[in-house]
Amino acid sequence: MFDKYIIDPATLRNTGPDEAPDGFAFETRLGYYRGLTLSMVEELNVGIDGEPVARADVSFDDGAGALTLDQMETAYDRRWAFGAPATILVRRAGGFPKGDHTLTLQQKLRISYMPFPSFNNDEKRISFG
Amino acid sequence: MSKIRRGVSLYSFQEEMFLGQMTVEDCVSFAASIGATGIEILPEQNMPSFPHLTDAQVAEWQAMIARHGCHFTAYDMFLDTKLRKDRLMSDDEQVESIVRDLKLCNRLGIRNMRVLVFVRPDILARCVPHAEALDVHMGVEVHAPWHLEHAWILRTIDEADRLGTRHLGILPDMGIFMKHYPPVWRARFERQGARPEVTQFIVDSHEAKIMAEYTIFEVAVKMQGNKAEVAMAETLRHNQYANPRRLADYAPYFRHIQAKFYEMNADCTDPSLAYDEAIDALVRCGWEGTLSSEYEGNRWIQDVSEVDSREQVRRQHVMFDRLIAQAEARHGTKETA
């Protein structure tokens, strides 16, 4: 219900040394009308120009410390609050590619009252660097 | 003084709150300004520290609500049976989670708890002694495609009767009375590529109350409908017109109503949901409780326009005032059954 808002393109930045970035980061909000315990965020699928980023290269930080997607699966005591920005960190040599590129994000959520997972999708065209 | 009171669920302002354009207090202040003084909350949306609210935070909420001349009406609970990936919550864990919400509801001074429709009636039966001790009514949300006489809902009614309790019942969502297909839904599907002649066919089929599966087959197979057309046809499965007269039969089992809506016309009429019939039935049977606005139109228009939840809610309350007055002129104000 908030798909178009889940990537904040203005927050995209490289991580690591300026001369040799080792990844990039951007802020995201949960595309759902309430907060959710992190264990129910099943996937954060990141893509660049249609190419998926490997699951192991993605981590998440709600402000309480970064977690891999595997670690999130058992984070029963941490909640991602409604409307609150969190950071997605992506490991990628060279950082985000320079020039015009498309960044995609899909949040796959396990919502107990729904028979199937909930997917939120966003895509932003970004001029970077 | 009417027995039907007006209120809002903070759900109505989710677009503006999500975007940081309105705070919770802005929503309450706005509700007060239109005389909708009953406030329904979603703690998991509106309280960032949920479920660990301190006594000071509870007191701040109560003071804020009182400062605007408002009062709490209902607490919307959730139950994360799929909290863990490897297994469902056990029955004991489900009861524990619901009791946690009953306690917080009681601490806030709220006497109605909206229970998600998928929660099992036998689990709720186990929670009844806690609900009675804390004086919180557990109302199972009667949400489309369920309806007042759906067999699943009747199980909750049967449990309440069997236990002889006034603390378990239902909580109708007015989305069950979709008499006409919402224009705002149709427009969204057309923007996604649905052809007008196909959307007209779907609207006409809904208007004629044709069973959804016939229409879905026509659109998907005979018309070779595209993705948007099939998706629109499939909405018919979950959005039908139930008989508003049944409200009177079940009135003793509910004290709060979620007044769902998707769009209000500029003349303060609802193009889709049969509020005229529902409010007539409620006044006629002498029902006492709150009509709590639940605006859910944002997701249908946010791709093309700014969302103005306040104006939508304001229009709905103009409609409530008009329909309540008209029904009271017809039926008078009755003693509660």
pLDDT in tens, B245-260: 999 999 999 999 999 9
| Closest to A33 measured CA to CA, from B15, B184, B38 | B15
Q: Which of the four pLDDT bands, split at 50, 70 and 90, describes residue B337? A: very low
Query: Given a cut of 70, is residue B334 above it in pLDDT?
Result: no
Question: Which of B237, B255, B281 represents a domain boundary (last residue)?
Answer: B237
Q: Which pLDDT belongs to residue B1?
A: 64
Contact A35 B84 (CB under 8 A): no
What average pLDDT does the segment A11-38 reach?
97
**Does residue B104 lie within any of the structural domains?**
yes
Q: Are residues B229 and B270 in the same domain?
A: no
Question: Which of B201, B217, B237 represents a domain boundary (last residue)?
Answer: B237
What average pLDDT does the segment B19-29 reach?
98
pLDDT digits (tens, 9 = 90+) for A86-102: 999 999 999 999 999 99
Domains of chain A with CATH codes:
3-128 (2.60.40)
What average pLDDT does the segment A51-70 reach?
97
What is the helix (H) or strand (E) element at residue B333, kind and residue range? none
Q: Which of the four pLDDT bands, split at 50, 70 and 90, describes residue B333? A: confident
Q: Are residues B141 and B205 in the same domain?
A: no
What average pLDDT does the segment B48-68 reach?
97
**Does residue B84 lie within any of the structural domains?**
yes
**Chain A: closest CA distance from residue B246 (Å):** 26
Q: Are residues B125 and B11 in the same domain?
A: yes
Tell me the ipTM for this assembly: 0.95
Write phi, then psi, for A84 (nearest 5 degrees). Answer: -85, 130
Q: Which of B85, B298, B302 sits opposite A39 (nearest CB)?
A: B85
**Chain B: closest CA distance from residue A36 (Å):** 8
| Average of per-residue pLDDT values in chain A | 97
Q: Give the Cα separation of B33 and A15 in Å (integer).
A: 48
Percent of chain B at pLDDT > 70 equals 99
- R_g (Cα) of chain A, nearest Å: 14
Q: Are residues B207 and B252 in the same domain?
A: no
Q: Is B35 helix (H, G, I), strand (E, B) or coil?
A: coil
Q: Which pLDDT belongs to residue B33?
A: 98
**Chain A: closest CA distance from residue B182 (Å):** 17
**Does residue B190 lie within any of the structural domains?**
yes
Q: Which of the four pLDDT bands, split at 50, 70 and 90, describes residue B327? A: very high
Q: Are residues B89 and B204 in the same domain?
A: no
Into how many domains does chain B fold?
A: 2
Q: Are residues B203 and B311 in the same domain?
A: no
Q: Is A96 helix (H, G, I), strand (E, B) or coil?
A: coil
CATH of the domain at B81: 3.20.20.150
Q: Are residues B84 and B216 in the same domain?
A: no
Q: Give the Cα separation of B165 and B63 in Å (integer).
A: 32
Structure tokens at B269: 């009429």
Contact A82 B83 (CB under 8 A): no
Between positions 22 and 81 of A, the ones with CB within 8 A of B are: 29, 33-35, 37, 39-40, 42, 73, 76, 79, 81
- Closest residue in B to A8 (Cα–Cα): B19
Q: Are residues B268 and B196 in the same domain?
A: no
pLDDT digits (tens, 9 = 90+) for B210-250: 999 999 999 999 999 999 999 999 999 999 999 999 999 99
Write phi, then psi, for A15 (nearest 5 degrees). Answer: -120, 160
Which residues of chain A are within 8 Å of residue B82 when distances are taken between CB atoms?
40, 110-112
Q: Give the Cα separation of B45 and B63 in Å (integer).
A: 19
Q: Is the pTM of this model over 0.80?
A: yes
What average pLDDT does the segment B152-170 reach?
98
Question: Which of B216, B237, B258 represents a domain boundary (last residue)?
Answer: B237
Task: Give first-to-last CA distance, chain B, whole Å.
Answer: 17
Q: Are residues B231 and B275 in the same domain?
A: no
pLDDT digits (tens, 9 = 90+) for B257-306: 999 999 999 999 999 999 999 999 999 999 999 999 999 999 999 999 99
pLDDT digits (tens, 9 = 90+) for B95-143: 999 999 999 999 999 999 999 999 999 999 999 999 999 999 999 999 9
**Does residue B336 lie within any of the structural domains?**
no
Strand order in the sheet with B289-295: B168-172, B137-142, B112-115, B71-76, B38-41, B4-9, B289-295, B256-261
**Does residue B31 lie within any of the structural domains?**
yes
Q: Which of the four pLDDT bands, split at 50, 70 and 90, describes residue A36? A: very high
Q: Which of A33, A39, A113 sits opposite B118 (nearest CB)?
A: A113
**Does residue B337 lie within any of the structural domains?**
no
Q: Are residues B188 and B53 in the same domain?
A: no
Which residues of chain A are within 8 Å of residue B20 when distances are taken between CB atoms?
83
Percent of chain A at pLDDT > 70 equals 100
Q: Are residues B213 and B283 in the same domain?
A: no
Q: Are residues B230 and B196 in the same domain?
A: yes
**Domain residue limits at B197:** 183-237
Judging by DSSP bridges, how do beta strands A79-80 and A36-37 pair with one another?
antiparallel
**Chain B: closest CA distance from residue A91 (Å):** 26
